[in-house]
Amino acid sequence: MEYSEETFLQHLAPTNPFPFLIPVERAEGIYLYSPDGRRYTDFISGIGVSNVGHRHPKVIDAIKKQLDKHLHVMVYGEYIQSSPNLLAKKLASLLPPSLDCCYLVNSGTEANEGALKLAKRLTGRTELVSFKKSYHGSTHGSMSVSGNEIKKTAFRPLLPDVRFIEFDHIDDLRHITTHTAGVIIETIQGDAGVRVPSQEFMKQLRKKCDETGAMLILDEIQCGMGRTGTLFAFEQFGIVPDILTIGKAFGGGLPIGAFISSHGRMKTLSHDPMLGHITTFGGNPVCCAAALSTLEVLTEGNILEEARRKGQMIESLLVHPLIREVRRAGMMFAIDFDSEERVQHIVKAALDNGVIGFWFLSHPYSFRIAPPLTITDEQIRESCDVILNAIKNS
Ligand SMILES: Cc1ncc(COP(=O)(O)O)c(C=O)c1O
């Protein structure tokens, strides 16, 4: 075993100057365990990943069964393997008919890269429209359509021809024109601090894309997979995207993403030029087995209905005069305070008492919570007590 901070800090490339540095030996359900026996409640699901909890028994079982058959055998798109086949069929059964074909990739950002390329390929246009304060990933294309200017400066030039408009502003939809290849939007903005658009805005957005022929790309990498109380957040707006992207919780703890559209649209990536998008590990059979069992857990039983109830329960428990505003979609929360410092204080105090919360990169004065959907009422009460105490002492 090797849990030394020195090794971590010296030999693993850092992403920021203040990493959490919690040593994790194992994880089960909603809990992470340190080698010294400390238990932490994961109230952020590893940032939107562990929607069915850590090591869900059905997910583990599916992984083990696939391990005994085969691991990687070929790059994506060549051999017929049961595990990706079953996953693709299941996804198609859960989505509208116009989203019947998935391209399996390795991460959220790669799903968005594929979606942006598909929109350009389908329309023959170059312009991309995105939204201020959005986050779509950290590779060059996804970063180009992400709203956080400070994060982008050091990496320019990025993609040309990207236009940013205001989220949830119907007026701004006029900037979507017949020059627009695709419009990419998080159905519910995550990193911006859980921003839920109006029904009318989403309807007008769909209409504008229909009128101009622009591809509507819904990024549900963070808000999908049951997080907001329905399997996909777009179900709550009565619209269907042309292209859907998913990731994070999709793999139940293993890395997998997908961009999804109709078979007719997807097949354009196979010619003129052929191999329009390729990936070695996309559709990895072990990840697909984990994703299929995750989908089964999310859709069999009442976990989604329960997520809606538990979201309300958390909201009704977390009441305190220092809270400025709560924004919530199902079990995805942003809780606003008066300052970034206060949020940091609350995160630290909660952590000292065994509950992991976080903030948002683009919205640091919000406390972030998104617990596993499998959390029990008792565990919710215990965790909310810890958070309330952290708020009181902040
Ligand atoms: C809405 C959204 N899109 C895309 C991504 C990028 O996903 P990944 O980190 O798997 O590349 C994220 C990650 O936080 C996200 O929240």
CB 199 within 8 A of CB 227: no
Compute CA distances 293 → 63, 66, 70, 184, 253, whole Å: 9, 12, 17, 29, 11
- Each residue's pLDDT expressed in tens, for the chain with a length of 394 residues: 999 999 999 999 999 999 999 999 999 999 999 999 999 999 999 999 999 999 999 999 999 999 999 999 999 999 999 999 999 999 999 999 999 999 999 999 999 999 999 999 999 999 999 999 999 999 999 999 999 999 999 999 999 999 999 999 999 999 999 999 999 999 999 999 999 999 999 999 999 999 999 999 999 999 999 999 999 999 999 999 999 999 999 999 999 999 999 999 999 999 999 999 999 999 999 999 999 999 999 999 999 999 999 999 999 999 999 999 999 999 999 999 999 999 999 999 999 999 999 999 888 999 999 999 999 999 999 999 999 999 999 9
Strand partners, 164: 130
Verify whether ligand 1 is closer than 6 Å to residue 182 (CB atom). no
Sign of CA dihedral 301, 217, 238, 328: positive
CB 164 within 8 A of CB 132: yes
CB 28 within 8 A of CB 52: no
250 CA distance to ligand 1 centroid (A)?
12
Compute CA distances 150 → 90, 144, 153, 185, 189, whole Å: 40, 12, 6, 20, 18
User: Hey, what are 156's tokens?
Assistant: 């320019």
Q: Which of 222, 223, 287, 358 to mutate for ligand 1's pocket (most ligand atoms within 8 Å of CB)?
A: 222
pLDDT, residue 289, reads: 98
The single residue listed with the structure tokens 């924004």 is: 327
Q: Which of 191, 221, 360 to mutate for ligand 1's pocket (most ligand atoms within 8 Å of CB)?
A: 221
In whole angstroms, what separates CA 340 from the centre of its chain?
23
Verify whether ligand 1 is closer than 6 Å to residue 141 (CB atom). no
Q: Which amino acid is at 145?
A: V
CB atoms within 10 A of CB 254: 17
User: Hey, what are 182's tokens?
Assistant: 């695709």
Q: Is the peptide bond before 17 cis (omega within 30 degrees of 0)?
A: no
320 CA distance to ligand 1 centroid (A)?
31
Residue 252 DSSP one-character state: B
Verify whether ligand 1 is closer than 6 Å to residue 247 (CB atom). yes
pLDDT, residue 362, reads: 85
Strand partners, 355: 41
Give the dihedral of Cα atoms 159, 160, 161, 164; nearest 10 deg.
Answer: 60
| Alpha carbon distance 110, 96 (integer Å) | 23
Neighbouring residues of 5: CB distance < 8 A, sequence distance ≥ 6: 21
pLDDT, residue 361, reads: 85
pLDDT, residue 363, reads: 87
Q: Which amino acid is at 161?
A: D
The single residue listed with the structure tokens 């059964």 is: 93
CB 391 within 8 A of CB 335: no
The single residue listed with the structure tokens 């565990």 is: 379
CB atoms within 10 A of CB 174: 9
In whole angstroms, what separates CA 56 from the centre of its chain?
19
